[in-house]
Structure 1
Amino acid sequence: MRGRLTALALAGATIAACTPEGARDFNTAAGASIDSGTFGNATMNNHQVQTGQTDILVSLNTRFSTEVDPTVTFPFDSAVLDATARATLARQASWIRQFPEVRFRVYGHTDLVGPDAYNRALGLRRAQAAVAFLTAQGISRSRLEAVVSYGETQPLIVTQGRERRNRRTVTEVVGFVSGHPMLLNGKYAQVIFREYVDSAVPAPRTEESGLAAIAAAGGGG
């Protein structure tokens, strides 16, 4: 048994030694968002937890990514929005307009082809293109809190080659507009009520209900 464990350990060490440069970026789940650790993040997170904002943000972000596609993709070495990307962003804008208190952030990404510095700039251009389209759809620029480029550091598909799914922007809920620290001011309830009413459909006519209507009218077949 000891010999077998030793062999497994040596095999693992061999694989680790052959791991290409940059593989440390793949130690987390592909596509996972990571805390950049910038100054003020800890204070912001503590404040959101203490005021109850964190749960609401998580809930809204989950709903946003469920009801609309938060991601648009790009051609290789391009920040041009094609027809599919524009249609997706238009749906995002329609959703965003329902929540005037909420702020969003757009993250830019690239695939792993090309230099790091170039890809960071390319990811930023992609995020800026998405933000420009959203603002053209009537979303206030002040609600798009920041434009961020992760470049090639968070691939969805781990490959050194060209991969369109990695060449993307991702829109996320990140906070609340100043002056509207919480959604629990009636506006959120209004949105939910309106969607509830809009989703209502006539009840299906069953055989039983049809017979009851005939009996009430005194008719017969």
Structure 2
Amino acid sequence: MQKWIITLGLSVAVAACTREAGYEVDQGAFGNATLNNVQVMNGELTYAQILGQRFAAEVPTQINFAFDSAQLDATAQQVLLRQADWIKQFPEARFRVYGHTDAVGSTGYNKALGQRRANAAVAFLTRQGISRSRLEAVVSFGKSRPLIDTPDRDRRNRRTVTEVSGFVDRNPQLLDGKYAEVIYREYVASATRESYIQRGDVSADETGE
């Protein structure tokens, strides 16, 4: 019995040793920067598409509104603050905000209302320090593209959606496929911040104490 237990233990240990290094760390994104560079250079993927996918995956892209209103409530403002923080990380990129409404009301009125909603979102993002030249409030889709197909009031249809649209002055640093450089920039920034904290170099103001 004891011999069997020892043999089983050795088998488990050997099996553990055969696992690939980093298997617990890699969540499926390891090597994406290199893969994306290759796809960009081959014309299979644009950097705008890559950045758009990241934006949609990492922050909420949509905010919602009360009926017949373009006012930003507290929830909408919190979402826009998250968008602003993300947008600031990529000064090379430009963004568009699309306005939408529900089906209640005329086509003309809803198109104007959707535009006011897009304008409100862009104005809020601008107040967070993002250059107006990087933000565009696109002409509203009005009620033509509902999420929920209903003739009634529906908050889910009363929304704006923020998307990556391109780059500032066709920024060459990114359009030549150097997506890995952006990843490296983010990595260095986070590592530098972490090293400051570990050494105790962060001031009381920075830590909030």
Q: TM-score range by the shorter chain?
A: 0.5 to 0.7
- Where does the alignment leave 5 or more consecutive residues of structure 2 unmatched? 1-39, 195-209
Residue of structure 2 equivalent to 1:192: 186
Q: What TM-score, normalized to structure 2?
A: 0.66
Q: Distance in 2 between matches of 1:119 and 1:106?
A: 16
Residue of structure 2 equivalent to 1:69: 60
Q: Distance in 2 between matches of 1:62 and 1:185?
A: 13
Residue of structure 1 equivalent to 2:143: 152
Q: Distance in 2 between matches of 1:148 and 1:50?
A: 33
Shift of the 139–111 alpha-carbon distance from structure 1 to 2, 3 Å rule, reads same
Q: Distance in 1 between matches of 2:163 and 2:121?
A: 12
Q: Please list, as runs of the form range in 1=range in 2, the aligned pairs for 1:33-112 lying within 5 A after superposition.
A: 52=43, 54-112=45-103
Q: What TM-score, normalized to structure 1?
A: 0.62
Q: Secondary structure at the match of 1:108?
A: strand
Q: Distance in 1 between matches of 2:95 and 2:47?
A: 14
- Where does the alignment leave 5 or more consecutive residues of structure 1 unmatched? 1-48, 201-221
Q: Distance in 1 between matches of 2:183 and 2:54?
A: 15
Q: Distance in 2 between matches of 1:52 and 1:148?
A: 30
Measured after TM superposition, the shift of residue 57 of structure 1 is 1.2
Measured after TM superposition, the shift of residue 198 of structure 1 is 8.0
Deviations 1:25-78 (A, max 9, x none): xxxxxxxxxxxxxxxxxxxxxxxx899595211111111011100000000000
Report if the CA contact (8 A) 1:98-1:191 is conserved. Answer: no
Alignment partner for residue 166 of structure 1, among 157, 162, 168?
157
Residue of structure 2 equivalent to 1:127: 118
Shift of the 80–165 alpha-carbon distance from structure 1 to 2, 3 Å rule, reads same
Give the RMSD, CA atoms, in angstroms: 2.5
Measured after TM superposition, the shift of residue 192 of structure 1 is 3.3
Residue of structure 1 equivalent to 2:127: 136
Q: Distance in 1 between matches of 2:42 and 2:121?
A: 31
Sequence identity (%): 57
Hey, which bits of structure 1, 4+ residues long, moved more than 3 A?
49-54, 189-192, 194-200
Q: Secondary structure at the match of 2:138?
A: strand
Report if the CA contact (8 A) 2:101-2:114 is conserved. Answer: yes
Report if the CA contact (8 A) 2:122-2:136 is conserved. Answer: no
Shift of the 76–51 alpha-carbon distance from structure 1 to 2, 3 Å rule, reads farther
Report if the CA contact (8 A) 1:70-1:170 is conserved. Answer: yes
